[in-house]
Structure 1
Amino acid sequence: MTAFLNALSGKLAERWLALLAVPGLVYLALLATAVTLGQRHWRDTGRLRERLDALAAAPSAHSAGVLAVCAVAVLAGAALAGAGVQALGGLVERIWLTGPRGPVTRWLTERRARRWRAADGAYRTALVAAGRARLGGAADADALVAEAESRHARRNALGLVAPRHPFGTGDRVTTPDRRVWRAYRLDLTAAWPHLWLIAPDSTRAELGSARAALSAAARLTAWGLAYLLAAVWWWPAALVGAATTVTGVLRGRAAAASFAELAEALVDLQGAELARTLGLRCEGRLTPETGEEVTRLLSKPD
């Protein structure tokens, strides 16, 4: 038990350092630099060096007690900054996944939906033209097929299904619900806990890693926003903040896509096993008829 508690405390300390202390210390260092230099002296390294020399020459700097208190205060400040940004990361994640609940989010959702419908219409028009050209033996049939494939890729870049969320991350995470329903008539929301329980450990680990990557991307975006705030005192912080925010958003999209693909793969591979586990006949792959029976069973109608 002692060894277990020691190992657990070591892992907690490592996690604390990785998530809160080290990023918080870096942020506090940048914030102190921003306040010291300001906008007018943004590149005056001599001013920063003078401030550090003045602090080192202060009488209190040679007191072990004062240094210990300062060290504790700095670590506490770093932890508080990290905890605050971590909470902001949770808010960023909720915003990414939110639905159209207000005038702004409804406008963003409709704007994305209009773009998707336009891209979908262009793709279907190009597909019909390519089909007619191929059937008629037209000389430009291959070019029209390539154009249809290009239109198809552009539409899918906006979304595999028509958008229903103001941000692409929310649509990508919820896309498996609609695609699984369309393919198997299976309510993924009702079936998910049961699929999770029968999934192999390796599959659950992959899904957990993808979900954790989405949360980590939201935290990275939150750190970017915090650095943008520091630009109020020192404008170079805006460069760091912008780069960090963009990186976080891109990682969030990649993590959402990875999680969605894994969720669909889980249904494709384990859907039939779920039906059999529930006592239904399912030979081979999951069919829409069997998926509908699973949905009715898991929904527990009155």
Structure 2
Amino acid sequence: MTGILGDFGAQLGKGLADKWLSLLALPGALYLAVCAAAQALGQAHALDAPRLAHQVTTWAHAPAVRTTGGQIVVLVAVLAASVAAGLAARALGAGIERVALAADWRSWPRPAAALARRRTDIRRRRWDAAHREYSAQWARAARAAALDREVDPTARRRALGARAAISAERPDRPTWSGDRVHAVALRLQRDQHLDLGQLWPYIWLSLPEGERTELVATRSAGARAAELGAWSVLYAALAAVWWPAGVLAVLLAATARRRARSTTDSYARLVEAVVRLHSRELMERFGIEDAGPPSSGDRLGDALGSAPPVVVNVAEPGGSVDPASRDESGGGRRS
């Protein structure tokens, strides 16, 4: 086909190759191939390879694709459909990632928020039970140490692992990934009185290029894992027509879940490490003496914070504000 298309094909391939690949066109092309196989075989002949080969040969000898113009149209159509499938997977992946992190689950529509709350409550009960078991094992080890007795740490480590498998901290979100990221904010607030949401933009601007690159790479890996989960959903939809697509969907979903957890854990560790390493540097830039946590964290929060908004009394000439009209929250006088 390359010889038939000639210069047109060469120029088209040169101009679209990078963008095509960046838009997930190769996975999109694979998805189109599976769609074609599903249409050709169906459920009754799901694994009939000779039937598929015959159908592909029939398509290849169709009059519409035996001319140069027909081949160009087919190529452009395949490229466009592949890119469209890739964009659909990317959009769906963004939605999956949002659900997996569940940072704003309390503002979700009522049915989804109720389901998320129920899931969070279940995870909390499981975590509390695992925490009680770990605390009991830890207390047992402490009593044994006080009496100079040896205790097998296997049970304590198993209890710690069971608790960590649920969440690093007490669950506040309906998903493991969401709680793993949220645990970073909890630890920084508890240990150093640092507000991650307030602090992060300043930390990011002060990071060396190498650390930024590492964070971006890990964050991008998480997005790709979510996109892989999106492809599993798209392949699952084909299972209604061709059951092998369902098998592929299960494999993709399992891989996506494993990668998502791994990359989320790595990203959370990196963020926590970066903040702990560079918070003192940020204090120096703001002229804050490091008095150790939590005092330094509180002072840094005050330095980064902003005064409450001032509501101007528009009824007064010139829009001046009477200091006596302000309430305790820093706002203007209530009418």
TM norm structure 1: 0.91
Report SS of the residue matched to 1:43: coil
Residue 7 of structure 1 corresponds to which residue in structure 2? Answer: none
Residue 5 of structure 1 corresponds to which residue in structure 2? Answer: none
1:279 to 260, 284, 287: 287
Alignment of 1:173-192 (within 5 A): 173-192=181-200
Change in 2 beyond 3 A, CA 1:22/1:258: same
Residue 28 of structure 1 corresponds to which residue in structure 2? Answer: 32
Alignment of 1:262-273 (within 5 A): 262-273=270-281
Residue 288 of structure 1 corresponds to which residue in structure 2? Answer: 294
Aligned-partner residue type, residue 274 of structure 2 = L
Change in 2 beyond 3 A, CA 1:149/1:11: farther
Aligned-partner residue type, residue 51 of structure 2 = R
Alignment of 1:59-208 (within 5 A): 59-98=63-102, 99-100=105-106, 101=108, 102-138=113-149, 141-143=150-152, 145-208=153-216
**1:251-298 deviations in Å (ceiling 9; x for gaps):** 111111111101110122111111111111126xx5210001111221
Residue 301 of structure 1 corresponds to which residue in structure 2? Answer: 307
**Matches of 2:161 and 2:86 in 1, distance apart?**
40
Residue 317 of structure 2 corresponds to which residue in structure 1? Answer: none
Residue 39 of structure 1 corresponds to which residue in structure 2? Answer: 43
**Matches of 1:288 and 1:53 in 2, distance apart?**
72
Q: How far has the Cα of 1:157 moved from its partner?
A: 2.3
Q: How far has the Cα of 1:18 moved from its partner?
A: 4.2
Q: Segments of 4+ in structure 1 off by > 6 A?
A: none
Aligned-partner residue type, residue 299 of structure 1 = G
Aligned-partner residue type, residue 147 of structure 2 = G
**Matches of 1:52 and 1:82 in 2, distance apart?**
23
Q: 2:28, 2:85 within 8 Å by CA — same for their partners in 1? A: yes
Aligned-partner residue type, residue 143 of structure 2 = R
Residue 237 of structure 2 corresponds to which residue in structure 1? Answer: 229
Q: Which has the higher helix share?
A: 1
Q: 2:43, 2:242 within 8 Å by CA — same for their partners in 1? A: yes
Q: How far has the Cα of 1:165 moved from its partner?
A: 0.8
**Matches of 1:228 and 1:277 in 2, distance apart?**
53
Q: How far has the Cα of 1:229 moved from its partner?
A: 1.0
Q: How far has the Cα of 1:57 moved from its partner?
A: 2.6
Report SS of the residue matched to 2:151: helix
Change in 2 beyond 3 A, CA 1:152/1:301: farther
Residue 3 of structure 1 corresponds to which residue in structure 2? Answer: none
Q: How far has the Cα of 1:183 moved from its partner?
A: 0.8
Change in 2 beyond 3 A, CA 1:45/1:187: same
Aligned-partner residue type, residue 134 of structure 1 = A
Q: How far has the Cα of 1:13 moved from its partner?
A: 4.2
Residue 259 of structure 1 corresponds to which residue in structure 2? Answer: 267
Residue 55 of structure 1 corresponds to which residue in structure 2? Answer: 59
Change in 2 beyond 3 A, CA 1:181/1:11: farther
Residue 253 of structure 2 corresponds to which residue in structure 1? Answer: 245
**1:135-185 deviations in Å (ceiling 9; x for gaps):** 1234xx322x43223212221222111011111111112211110011100
Stretches of structure 1 lacking an aligned partner (at least 5 in a row): 1-9
Q: How far has the Cα of 1:12 moved from its partner?
A: 8.0
**Matches of 1:12 and 1:96 in 2, distance apart?**
33
Q: How far has the Cα of 1:19 moved from its partner?
A: 3.5
Q: How far has the Cα of 1:131 moved from its partner?
A: 0.9
TM norm structure 2: 0.82
Q: Let me know the Cα RMSD of the aligned residues.
A: 1.8
